[in-house]
Amino acid sequence: MPKVPIIMPQLGESIAEATIVRFTSQIGEPVTSDQEIIEVETNKAVMGVTTPCDGVILEFTVEVNQTYPIGSVLGYIEASVEDAERLDMTSAEPVVQPSVPFESQPETSQSPARQQDAAKSAPGIPTIKVPTAPVRSGTPFVSPRVRSRVDQLGWLPQDLSLIPGTGQAGRLTALDVEKYLAQLEELEGQKASGLRLAIADAMRRSWSRPLATIGVAFSLEPLLAHRKQFKSPPGPALYVAKAVAIALAETPKLAARLVGDRLLLPKSIDIGIAVEVDDGVVVPVLKALDKEPLSGLGERYQALLNAARARRLPEDAREGAIASITNYGPLGIAWGTPVPQPTETLIVGLGRGEKRPVWDEASSQFVPRQVAELTVTFDHRVIDGGASGKLITRLVTLLESPDSL
């Protein structure tokens, strides 16, 4: 019977690799076409690899907790001749890319850019995007030997600032790097997850632009009263997300992205809501949020929350947000300066609700009110202080008049 390979599929436009989480089927087990048999994790979500056809699982050629590039062979299925012919896999040993973990791939003296060019010219080998450390002005000079070692380790230039240099004028030497590596081996630690590394990279890129934060207190009481009319009340974060969507639909230039000398306006008002998961944060995206009333959002929102917590977001909810919401109130935090993702111009934070004395003009006395702090962190290249002030004032007006949502 012919052998049909199980291939690591293309799991997203910007995804070049995935880590094996577990096998959901066993060797020798009969399977049907498109049956999920391997669970993998990317830097965006947990996904399933499915079978290319009916058959019996002959073997798995990969290991759990190892990372493999897109296009790798993950195993083989014993299939019918008809299915093998349909998949153009009629030979007994199909020629496909072997499954080699990224950590085990042979090193070359070529730079990552040259390796990518070589991959493009090599027939039958998928192109893998190799992350390279950006060259920044002000980065200390290091020799080509040290630079090569840093690239080999996958470090960024700023990682070098942790190592004391013993060369001339404090210059970092290759021996300094190796001594530092030896010291690291003595420390307890573990490999960072793909999600944690993705967050670290996103935050590094976000801080390459000037960010500023403003905040204001607003009354939670209208919102809390409005929630009571729903059988399954939407969370405060959804109220904030809806208010942000309305405000940005009214003034789209506040969500523009600066690319070169152009301000690019969003095609759709897509808003993300940060959800805490193990070892990080996932941000499901609510598409065209300005076009749907709050009353009709509850079911879709809850489904996305559940999918986010399981790291099983649908593809259309994984990216594309022009702004996002983070609710750190449940953590007991009153005020914060959240950081927008690199592709977002702003992020809105919601703090914990608390009773405060508020001056009431009608009674000429202080009265207790349930209030919370609202913050907006924004790209100062796109939004100035006056515009951000108008935006947050509009958000407060909407949140204190929830029937308008």
Mean pLDDT on 99-127? 45
Confidence check: pLDDT of 349 > 50? yes
Percent of the chain, pLDDT > 70? 86
The SS3 assignment for 167 reads: coil
Spatial separation of the C-alpha atoms in residues 77 and 56, rounded to whole Å: 5
Architecture of domain 3-102: Beta Barrel (2.40)
Q: Residue 398's pLDDT band (boundaries 50, 70, 90)? A: very high
Mean pLDDT on 364-375? 93
pLDDT tens for residues 214-269?
999 999 999 999 998 888 888 899 999 999 999 999 999 999 999 888 999 999 99
Mean pLDDT on 115-125? 41
pLDDT of residue 315: 83
Closest listed residue to residue 178, CA positions, set 150, 140, 142, 159: 150
Confidence check: pLDDT of 306 > 70? yes
Confidence check: pLDDT of 101 > 70? no
> Cβ distance 244 to 374 under 8 Å?
no
The CATH number of 210-404 is 3.30.559.10
Tell me what the pLDDT averaged over the chain comes to. Answer: 83
The CA-based angle 60-70-156, given to 5 degrees, is 120
> Cβ distance 259 to 253 under 8 Å?
no
CB-based contacts of 217, cutoff 8 Å, min separation 6: 356, 371, 372, 373, 374
Fold of 144-191: Dihydrolipoamide Transferase (4.10.320)
pLDDT of residue 111: 40
Look up residue 15 and give its DSSP letter: -
Residue type, 5: P
Cα-only R_g, the chain:
26
Q: Residue 133's pLDDT band (boundaries 50, 70, 90)? A: very low
pLDDT tens for residues 188-218?
887 777 788 888 888 888 888 999 999 999 9
The CA distances from residue 328 to 67, 201, 218, 332, in Å, are 33, 22, 16, 7
Closest listed residue to residue 77, CA positions, set 61, 59, 92: 59
Domain residue ranges in the chain: 3-102, 144-191, 210-404
Percent of the chain, pLDDT > 90? 44
Spatial separation of the C-alpha atoms in residues 171 and 160, rounded to whole Å: 11
pLDDT of residue 42: 83
pTM exceeds cut of 0.85? no
> Cβ distance 9 to 17 under 8 Å?
no
pLDDT of residue 230: 87
Mean pLDDT on 161-184? 82
The CA-based angle 58-60-65, given to 5 degrees, is 165
pLDDT of residue 156: 73
Mean pLDDT on 148-156? 79
Look up residue 14 and give its DSSP letter: T
Residue type, 329: G
